[in-house]
């Protein structure tokens, strides 16, 4: 049973090769008291370290008959299952409530609106985000549930998304598939050098408390599954610019062949259409910008009119939210995929660096 270190220079759950399961929870802070917030963050940080080792916080079965169990128990004896817990603060945390305004990084604010956005308030905004990833869904859920319980009277749950399969590849992993059936994560960031270049906040930051951290963008993207499932295969290939089974670019035969965005067919048209998803998103066509994608497939059952309610819980990490903004500006305006997806939720979070050890806690530098 594998353990991922909770303490370290960077938070776990970013570079960590994506585990199979996700529970994402976004909280609204309800207290107006900075000291209550501080206590909650300190309690959370200590508890997260325990959960990452598979250790409950408080008794599952207290000695006294009248005592309420400290831990809810459903992960008791299950082990750590590579659980990672990753925390981030939304721009709203740096308003006037807690005295944090002076700590707001200059590059950090709410995301702009994008063409083709269909955001709903239920899945947008919030104050604090916790991403739980694990090899077992119950272990991930247990951690989030107990953190939410611990926060009672200080923060409430705004929304939660359960991801049941990774839809991105990390270091040393094979490429999984998203719910459209395509390999997802083929050209993701995979090397330490690229992480330094594109993901970890460095000394360029105007806020020293963010050095070693990153910025998380969370987009709940609904897929119009019925429409997609009725599309013919050549069009599906053109939407992504890749083949389905092999995951190869339309200009190659193997998954890892480098796409040729200039190649033309005998009809004179580009082989990878200019509005194909990968043509618009690729760093070659986007000023060299890359992001670390770490998304998950999700389903919420069926919607109010009986359609499958499912999609991609898109998560990306970058050292500057502008990296996501530049790619999504292009995708939102012209991505051929837009016919089959709707961005229904959105959030951006400043993810501080990792904690140094027991006694350290998220936000410590901000109080």
Q: Is residue 324 close enough to count as binding ligand HEM by CB under 6 A? A: yes
For residues 104 and 190, which CB has a smaller minimum distance to ligand HEM in the complex?
190
**Interacting stretch for ligand HEM, rule CB under 6 A, among 75-83, 120-128, 183-191, 359-367?**
183-191
Q: Is residue 275 close enough to count as binding ligand HEM by CB under 6 A? A: no
Name residues whose C-beta falls within 8 Å of residue 78's C-beta, 6 or more positions apart in sequence. 54, 136, 138, 139
For residues 155 and 189, which CB has a smaller minimum distance to ligand HEM in the complex?
189
Of 180, 238, 351, 366, the residue at the interface with ligand HEM (CB under 6 A) is 180
Q: Is residue 161 close enough to count as binding ligand HEM by CB under 6 A? A: no
Q: Is residue 331 close enough to count as binding ligand HEM by CB under 6 A? A: yes
For residues 49 and 195, which CB has a smaller minimum distance to ligand HEM in the complex?
195
Paired with 162 in beta bridges are 23
Q: Is residue 282 close enough to count as binding ligand HEM by CB under 6 A? A: yes
Of 145, 219, 237, 294, the residue at the interface with ligand HEM (CB under 6 A) is 219
Q: Is residue 199 close enough to count as binding ligand HEM by CB under 6 A? A: no
In the complex, what is the shortest distance from the CB of residue 115 to ligand HEM, in angstroms, rounded to a whole number? 13
Helix (H) or strand (E) holding 327: helix 321-334
Alpha-helical segments (H) within 9-162: 34-52, 137-150
Cβ pair 19, 82 in contact under 8 A: yes
For residues 311 and 353, which CB has a smaller minimum distance to ligand HEM in the complex?
311
For residues 340 and 362, which CB has a smaller minimum distance to ligand HEM in the complex?
340
Name residues whose C-beta falls within 8 Å of residue 244's C-beta, 6 or more positions apart in sequence. 181, 182, 233, 236, 237
Q: What is the DSSP string of 128-143?
A: EEEEEEESSHHHHHHH
For residues 47 and 276, which CB has a smaller minimum distance to ligand HEM in the complex?
276
Report helix, strand or coil for 259.
coil
Where b means 16+ CB within 10 Å and e means fewer, 241-254 reads bbbeeebbbbbbee
Cβ pair 21, 136 in contact under 8 A: yes
Q: Is residue 178 close enough to count as binding ligand HEM by CB under 6 A? A: yes
Cβ pair 14, 360 in contact under 8 A: no
Paired with 155 in beta bridges are 29
The site string for ligand HEM over 239-258 (x = CB under 6 A, - otherwise) reads -x-x----------------
**Interacting stretch for ligand HEM, rule CB under 6 A, among 103-111, 157-165, 184-192, 354-362?**
184-192
For residues 47 and 331, which CB has a smaller minimum distance to ligand HEM in the complex?
331
For residues 125 and 295, which CB has a smaller minimum distance to ligand HEM in the complex?
295
d(CA 74, CA 76): 6
Burial of residue 118 (CB within 10 Å: 0-12, 13-18, 19+) is: exposed
In the complex, what is the shortest distance from the CB of residue 175 to ligand HEM, in angstroms, rounded to a whole number? 7
**Interacting stretch for ligand HEM, rule CB under 6 A, among 65-73, 186-194, 260-268, 357-365?**
186-194
**Interacting stretch for ligand HEM, rule CB under 6 A, among 32-40, 78-86, 118-126, 174-182?**
174-182
């Amino acid at each position: 049973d594998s353990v991922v270190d909770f303490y370290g220079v960077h938070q776990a759950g970013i570079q960590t090769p994506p585990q199979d399961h996700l529970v994402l929870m976004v909280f609204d802070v309800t207290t107006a008291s900075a000291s209550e917030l501080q206590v909650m963050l300190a309690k959370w940080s200590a508890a997260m370290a325990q959960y990452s080792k598979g250790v409950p916080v408080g008794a599952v079965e207290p000695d006294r008959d009248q005592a309420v169990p400290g831990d809810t128990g459903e992960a008791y004896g299950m082990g750590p299952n590579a659980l990672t817990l990753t925390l981030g603060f939304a721009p709203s945390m740096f308003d006037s409530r807690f005295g944090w305004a002076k700590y707001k990084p200059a590059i950090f604010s709410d995301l702009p609106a994008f063409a083709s956005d269909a955001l709903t308030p239920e899945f947008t905004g919030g104050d604090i985000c916790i991403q739980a990833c694990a090899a077992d869904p119950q272990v991930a859920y247990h951690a989030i549930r107990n953190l939410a319980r611990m926060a009672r009277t200080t923060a409430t749950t705004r929304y939660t998304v359960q991801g049941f399969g990774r839809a991105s590849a990390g270091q040393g992993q094979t490429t999984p598939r998203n719910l459209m059936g395509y390999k997802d994560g083929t050209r993701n960031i995979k090397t330490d050098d690229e992480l330094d270049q594109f993901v970890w906040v460095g000394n360029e930051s105007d806020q020293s408390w963010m050095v070693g951290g990153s910025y998380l963008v969370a987009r709940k993207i609904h897929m119009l599954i019925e429409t997609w499932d009725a599309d013919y295969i050549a069009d599906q290939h053109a939407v992504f610019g890749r083949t389905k089974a092999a995951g190869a670019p339309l200009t190659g035969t193997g998954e890892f062949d480098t796409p040729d965005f200039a190649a033309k067919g005998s009809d004179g048209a580009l082989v990878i259409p200019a509005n194909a998803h990968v043509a618009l998103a690729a760093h070659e066509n986007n000023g060299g910008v890359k992001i670390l994608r770490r998304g998950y497939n999700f389903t919420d059952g069926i919607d109010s009119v009986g359609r499958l309610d499912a999609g991609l819980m898109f998560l990306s990490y970058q050292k500057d939210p502008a990296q996501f903004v530049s790619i999504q500006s292009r995708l939102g305006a012209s991505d051929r995929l837009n016919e089959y997806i709707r961005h229904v939720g959105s959030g951006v979070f400043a993810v501080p660096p990792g904690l140094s050890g027991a006694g350290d806690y998220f936000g410590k530098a901000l109080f």
